[in-house]
Amino acid sequence: MEEEEEEIVYIIPNEEKETTTKILEEIKEEETPLEEIKDETKINNANDTDFSLAEYKPNNIVFLVDISSSMNQGGKLDLLKASMIELTKILRPEDKITLVSYASNANIILETTSGADKDSVISIIQNLKAQGMTDGAKGLEKAYAQAENNFLVDGNNQVFMATDGILNFGDNNSYKMAKKFSKKGVNMSIIGIKNKTSHIPLMIELANKGNGDFIDIQTYDQAQKNLVETVEKQSKRLP
């Protein structure tokens, strides 16, 4: 059963009021408004060395986002949005981010963008809407193509597939693709959004095939930190 929706306002230039679930209302109350985040992030990038190029490789990140209708339930899509925004806040100009959505069809919703352009990335994330059936195979092929086209030789090249359950792959092509591209240096991690316990082993298996990680997100607290911590771990330079 879907949670009751309430209307809230996002502080994004030229964006009107939109409705969303109570989880995003919680985000609005606890997080800095988006206009302030933009200014604050610029300051942090100039002075904060916690995610410096000296210690962390540049990232080539492609998000493959499940926007099927089931993601509307229980605030799942909102948890994913919160997680992606937290990551966007720490991205550097050298980092690249691409967004591919999939439901009944797969579409590139954000062409490869520098981590410096946080306004564009956050705006696209906030405007994600869920509808349609789930077909992960179409999206996975497109996501890998984007990651390969923007490959960073000395970087963390990663496809993040975000989903709330078992994907409709049709056959074992997804596992074959994960293994094939991991050998090329493009790894795949799975972001599980409120996955059922029975689904998690399958998500972990696919992440293992892709030489990536399984990131479990069940709560807003996990949305704030789990993805960020994983990317930091993946891009950390060896001593």
Query: Residue 181 sits in a domain of what CATH number?
Result: 3.40.50.410
Q: How many CB atoms lie within 10 A of CB 70?
A: 20
Question: What was the pLDDT predicted at 196?
Answer: 86
Question: What was the pLDDT predicted at 98?
Answer: 98
> Within a domain: residue 47?
no
> Within a domain: residue 32?
no
> Within a domain: residue 38?
no
Q: What is the DSSP string of 108-151?
A: EEEEEEETT-HHHHHHHHHT----S---HHHHHHHHHHHHHHT-
> Within a domain: residue 37?
no
Show Cβ contacts of residue 7 under 8 Å, excluding neighbours closer than 6 positions. Answer: 17, 18, 19
User: CA-to-CA distance for 190 and 112, rounded, in angstroms?
Assistant: 20
Q: Which token pair is 213?
A: 């990680």
> Within a domain: residue 86?
yes
Question: What was the pLDDT predicted at 69?
Answer: 86
Question: What was the pLDDT predicted at 79?
Answer: 96
- Domain of 119 in residue numbering reads as 52-235
Question: What was the pLDDT predicted at 72?
Answer: 87
Question: What was the pLDDT predicted at 150?
Answer: 97
Question: What was the pLDDT predicted at 18?
Answer: 39
Q: Which token pair is 58?
A: 């540049």
> Within a domain: residue 7?
no
Question: Mean pLDDT of residues grouped by 10 in the chain (239 residues)?
Answer: 36 33 41 40 44 96 92 92 97 97 88 96 94 72 95 97 71 83 96 90 91 96 96 95
Question: What was the pLDDT predicted at 103?
Answer: 80
- Buried b or exposed e, range 33-53, using 16+ CB within 10 angstroms: ebeebbeebeeebeeeeebee
Question: What was the pLDDT predicted at 192?
Answer: 94
Question: What was the pLDDT predicted at 175?
Answer: 86
> Within a domain: residue 10?
no
Q: How many CB atoms lie within 10 A of CB 4?
A: 7
> Within a domain: residue 27?
no
Question: What was the pLDDT predicted at 33?
Answer: 41
Question: What was the pLDDT predicted at 122?
Answer: 97
Structural domains in the chain (count): 1
